[in-house]
Amino acid sequence: MLMLFILVPLLFGGIELARGVGIRHSLDSGVGVAARALSLDPSQWSWSVSVINQAITDNPLGGGSVSAVTVKVYNAGGSEISSSTLASLPFGAAFRLQASVTYTPEITLVGGTTVTIRVSHWGIVERFP
Amino acid sequence: MSCRYVALVLYLSEWLDFQRLFPEAAKYLRMKIAPGATDVDNLVKELAARPAENTKSRFFGDKQRGQVAVLAALLIMLFVLLAAGLVDGYLLLEARNWGYQAAQQAALAGVSQGRDWGSLASPPCAGGPAPIRLDASAAQKAATSLLQQEMSMRGIVDFTSDVRVLPDYEGGSISGYPPAAVRLGAGRGNWSSNEPSMGVYFSFPVSTFLLSFVGRPTVQVSVFASAGVHQPDGACKP
């Protein structure tokens, strides 16, 4: 019985850890693709957000208890800017795309605490002029 | 040869199966113990019908009973150590990947925003497209700013960084840079480039879980990345 109380949380904790790592990896890939797309054409905001959402939905370990994705963009100075401001950034301007989700692991006999997974990628506007 | 002894041996050797599989050998054995052959068969059948007496100690004798508890405790400790080791491994791997990504993005931002467009307007040579160089201070400022933002977002305060720029048309080299071994490097590097480039090196501590119990509460992770500006094909050389 003692072994079960230790081994079961270890087993399910491992699975939930792998799921969390999978979500982070998917989010990382999605934000990377979105930042690259916005570098080439900063007006592709809605497409970029859908790419990030799709990356999370297609996570092979399943969505589980993952919240909707929140996407924000910041300028080189670290201030949050709107998608329309991003679309008007000049050639060579740097921006940071940040996406976050909350994830609640479900570990048998233990439960789980909600964690926020946050990923950001930098981009540099390459559209000219 | 005692009849009972033979019966015991044959029972353990699956006497009945033996007779079926090797009839000639069985016949020979029966001849050798002919006077007691019937008794042997009877005794084998009797033993086969009797419930097993010592099956519980087949794997663990009486003296070994209770060892499962010790084994279980050892296994639990092993599993817990394994899980903690995996957590530490992932922490370090994730920190290293983040570090390389941050260094690459800082280097890219540096060369992107540090391009000296003025060098194109007044080329230092003729006979081909004008080459480009870097504005060292602008490049360094852009890379450092990005690096500080990344560190601030991750909550890292005690990091060391070394950002260098090779602004000239044909790059150059810096000996002893990066200042510590990175990736598979066995020692300090001698960074060189044949185009205007910048290198970003930084080192930061990563808190550990398992290793903290063996006197290593933090592990220092060092990363290095560089980026350069490609000169136009056929560019003249100053």
Q: What is the pLDDT of residues B87-98, one digit of tens each?
A: 899 899 999 999
CB contact under 8 A, A122 and B109: yes
Q: Nearest C-alpha of chain A: how many angstroms from B115?
A: 10
Q: Nearest C-alpha of chain B: how many angstroms from A95?
A: 10
- Does the beta carbon of B149 lie under 8 angstroms from any beta carbon of chain A? yes
**pLDDT single digits (tens) B32-55:** 665 555 666 676 667 667 665 554
List the one residue out of B180, B185, B188, B205 whose CA is nearest residue B92.
B205
**Bigger pLDDT: B67 vs B223:** B223
User: Block means of pLDDT (10 residues each) for chain A, length 129 residues?
Assistant: 80 85 91 94 94 88 79 92 95 93 85 88 87
Directed axis angle between helix A2-40 and helix B67-113, to 10°? 10
CB contact under 8 A, A21 and B90: yes
Q: Nearest C-alpha of chain A: how many angstroms from B26?
A: 50
Residues of A in contact with B79 (CB under 8 A): 6-7, 10
d(CA B41, CA B30): 10
Pairing of β B197-207 and β B190-193: unpaired
d(CA A43, CA A88): 8
- Does the beta carbon of B148 lie under 8 angstroms from any beta carbon of chain A? no
CB contact under 8 A, B80 and A6: yes
Question: What is the three-class DSSP state of B194?
Answer: coil
- A103-117, B111-125, B163-177: the lowest-pLDDT one: A103-117
**Bigger pLDDT: A27 vs B17:** A27
Residues of B in contact with A2 (CB under 8 A): 72, 76
Return the pLDDT at B189. Answer: 75
- At B62, the pLDDT band (50, 70, 90 cuts) reads low
Give the H/E segment covering residue B157. none
Return the pLDDT at B13. Answer: 56
- Minimal Cα distance from A21: which residue of B? B90
Chain A residue set in contact with B, beta carbons under 8 Å? 2-3, 6-7, 10, 13-14, 17, 21, 76, 78, 92, 94, 96, 120-122, 124
Could you tell me if A23 and A117 are in contact, meaning their C-beta atoms sit under 8 angstroms apart? yes
Return the pLDDT at B1. Answer: 46
Residue of A2, A10, A94 lying closest to B109 (CB–CB): A94
